[in-house]
């Protein structure tokens, strides 16, 4: 779902920087081995959507996307 939002940022709203930040945070959370049940694989840890969201936010420096957008203006 968050990856889909990243695509919307990139292709619908032309918010390339924000989409890149989100993609990087998602990749970092996945690199730590955390997965939701729908994308689990051997050797990974399954967490719920809230736990995955927290991991992505943490990987993004603990700053929300809306905070980054406001700070960049």
User: What digits encode the pLDDT tens for the residues 6-53?
Assistant: 999 999 999 999 999 999 999 999 999 999 999 999 999 999 999 999
Q: Which residues contact 38 (CB under 8 A, 6 or more apart)?
A: none
Domain chopping of the chain, boundaries:
2-72
Q: Which residue has the higher pLDDT, 67 or 14?
A: 14
Say which residue the tokens 């695509």 belong to. Answer: 7
Taking the C-alpha atoms of residue 14 and residue 49, their distance in angstroms, rounded to an integer, is 26
């Amino acid at each position: 779902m968050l990856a889909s939002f990243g695509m919307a940022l990139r292709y619908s709203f032309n918010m390339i920087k924000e989409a890149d930040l989100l993609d990087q945070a998602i990749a970092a959370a996945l690199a730590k081995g955390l997965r939701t049940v729908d994308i689990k694989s051997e050797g990974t840890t399954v967490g719920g959507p809230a736990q995955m969201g927290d991991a992505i936010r943490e990987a993004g420096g603990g700053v929300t996307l809306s905070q980054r957008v406001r700070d960049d203006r």
